[in-house]
Amino acid sequence: MTAPELPPDDPRLTLRLPTAADFAQATQRLLGGAREWVRILPQRADLRYLTDDAVIAALRALLVHSRRARLEILLPPDLARDDLGRPLWDLARRLTSAVAVHRLSDDTAPLAEAWLTVDRHGYLHRPQAERLHGLACLDDPPRTQELTQRFAALWLASEPDPDLRRLSL
């Protein structure tokens, strides 16, 4: 028996993402459905799509138009000082009431994966830090909950990023 075909725009479909453009499109679709929470644990390769103009505009729109919206970013130690992420760091600096940026603790800093979750339903996941290949789904609450719980555990062991305030040089 074969599984029923899902149309390409079905939110339950798991999308394979082989390029930065695919990641940017998937991120825009995820952010388009966001209402309250966006949690990002990026690696260096993720800054290629997270700093895309359309992604930054979607994040800004979410955070400005909803008082309940919140963005949490959990960074490896070397990312906050990198100019490649400047649009994301500028957004965090301008919207301090809606954005929190923490650094991974030394114990968890060598984490070799990256992900983004939106509310309780959508995710984007890269299992290998060095390769820009991953999966995304707009509506997969169990997988999103798993990633959100992992994020929450890492967040509790992290500290606010002191270097973010110094990026306005």
9-63, pLDDT tens digit by residue?
777 889 999 999 999 999 999 999 999 999 999 998 899 899 999 999 999 999 9
93-121, pLDDT tens digit by residue?
899 899 999 998 887 767 889 999 999 99
Task: Answer yes or no: is 34 within a domain.
Answer: yes
Task: Answer yes or no: is 130 within a domain.
Answer: yes
Task: Answer yes or no: is 6 within a domain.
Answer: no
51-95, pLDDT tens digit by residue?
999 999 999 999 999 999 999 999 987 775 668 888 998 999 899
Task: Answer yes or no: is 5 within a domain.
Answer: no
Task: Answer yes or no: is 29 within a domain.
Answer: yes
Q: What is each CA distance from 19 to 15, 35, 67, 74, 135, in whole angstroms?
A: 12, 26, 33, 23, 11
DSSP summary character for residue 98: T
Structural domain that includes position 89: 14-163
Domain count for the chain:
1
CATH code where residue 102 lies? 3.30.870.10
Task: Answer yes or no: is 169 within a domain.
Answer: no
